[in-house]
Amino acid sequence: MLEIRDLSLTVSIEGRRVEAVSAVSLQLEAGRVLGLVGESGCGKSLTAQAILRLGEHQGVEKSSGDILLDGNSLFEMDDESLRRIRGGRISMVFQEPMTALNPVFSIGSQITEVIRLHLDMDKQQANARAVQLLHDVGMQDAEQVLKQYPDSLSGGMRQRVLISMAMAADPDYIIADEPTTALDVSVQKRIITLLLNLQKKRNLGLLLVTHDFGLVAEMCDDVAVMYAGQIVEAGKVADIFDHPAHPYTRALMGCRPEVSEPGASLTVISGQVPSPGHWPQGCHFAERCSLARHDCMEKPVTAACWQQGEHIARCLHVDEHDMDDRT
Ligand SMILES: Nc1ncnc2c1ncn2[C@@H]1O[C@H](COP(=O)(O)OP(=O)(O)O)[C@@H](O)[C@H]1O
Ligand SMILES: [Mg+2]
């Protein structure tokens, strides 16, 4: 089990340390897909990257909480253990495949490097595994692809390569941060299907970061909705789709033009996500919420302010909204 427990992160903005992720808790289990959804700027990538402690070079600091892999804190691990976990037990697929690939090395050398970093294989064995991995992500002419360089591949093909690299050492968890956002709509569906097939076949725990509620509906078992650094609603996808409790979740769902069209951009919820350092003292969503009352503006709202089984929402007035009346 991979568990984020009450994680708060600060970033440095104009020389000031400000909170950007606030007491986030998430649990990812083998065989399950967890969606982390919210508009741009809500802190999804900071949260996802914290799992492998990737933000530390960009001035991201943990101010409280912990991340546990099978009960062991990733923050207390030595560099060697962390190196083995990165890519070995937990790997990442990023939004923009080109930035994650090195343009001056062939695809083959980049995949075999990852393989040999984690598995005890000689060059020939690593090469054979690379071919197999590329087959697994749907590339027929794998031998040919190994000789090519990143810029000679399409965006979709590059993302397949990155997924094959993420699978190289048979990880238990994959963190996919907007894995299809940079791709053509026609390709998105295929990449998502590929990820989901791999997830099922290998019983992976998959954290899917996305701004697209339609993808959550198609792919995820569980969902956490993030707004301005906080989880505002979480639970099983089925429950949240039937009864979205938080006005932000409802707005995100309503925003989505066509559930059958993955990747279609959100029509706008009026207003903007407040940036770190500018969060309101009460509910973070209050200033954009059509249902907000006076107390929403003033009173800090706890994470599980409203709870029904495993379904939680950070809203003072859930019971007063008509939960079946989706707009
Ligand atoms: N290294 C950083 N330094 C300062 N601010 C950052 C840094 N990384 C992210 N931020 C800010 O934190 C907020 C959340 O960012 P991010 O996690 O990338 O959001 P999301 O992935 O949900 O779009 C944004 O306002 C962003 O500008
Ligand atoms: Mg992001």
Mean pLDDT of 20-45: 97
Q: What is the pLDDT of residues 224-270, one digit of tens each?
A: 999 999 999 999 999 999 999 999 999 999 865 444 455 544 456 88
Q: How far is the CA of 84 from the centre of ligand 2 (A)?
A: 25
* Concatenated DSSP letters of 44-68: HHHHHHHHTT-GGGGT-EEEEEEEE
Residue nearest to atom 5 of ligand 1 (CA): 11
Task: State the DSSP code for 150.
Answer: G
Residue 201 binned pLDDT confidence (cut-offs 50, 70, 90) = very high
Question: Ligand 1 in contact with 20 (CB < 6 A)?
Answer: yes
Cβ neighbours of residue 78 under 8 Å, at least 6 residues apart? none
**Cα angle: 94, vertex 97, 100; to 5 degrees:** 75
Distance CA 175, CA 163 (A): 11
Cβ proximity of 44 and 55 under 8 Å: no
Block residue for tokens 């309101």: 280
Cβ proximity of 208 and 188 under 8 Å: no
* CB-count exposure of residue 20 (10 Å: 0-12, 13-18, 19+): buried
What pLDDT score does 98 carry?
75
Q: What is the pLDDT of residues 140-184, one digit of tens each?
A: 899 999 999 999 999 999 999 999 999 999 999 999 999 998 888
List the domain boundaries for the chain. 2-89+171-320
Question: Ligand 1 in contact with 42 (CB < 6 A)?
Answer: yes
Question: Ligand 1 in contact with 73 (CB < 6 A)?
Answer: no
Distance CA 211, CA 265 (A): 9
> Among 7, 11, 226, which residue has the most ligand 1 atoms within 8 Å of its CB, making it the best to mutate?
11
Q: What is the pLDDT of residues 103-148, one digit of tens each?
A: 999 999 999 999 999 999 999 999 999 999 999 999 989 999 999 9
Helices of type H across 102-246 = 107-118, 123-136, 142-147, 155-166, 185-202, 213-219, 237-242
Provide the edge-to-edge strand list for the sheet that holds 61-69. 16-28, 2-13, 61-69, 72-73
Estimate the crossing angle of helix 107-118 against helix 155-166, to 10 degrees: 20
**CATH topology classification for 2-89+171-320:** Rossmann fold (3.40.50)
Residue 58 has pLDDT above 60, yes or no: yes
Q: How far is the CA of 275 from the centre of ligand 1 (A)?
A: 8
Residue 38 has pLDDT above 80, yes or no: yes
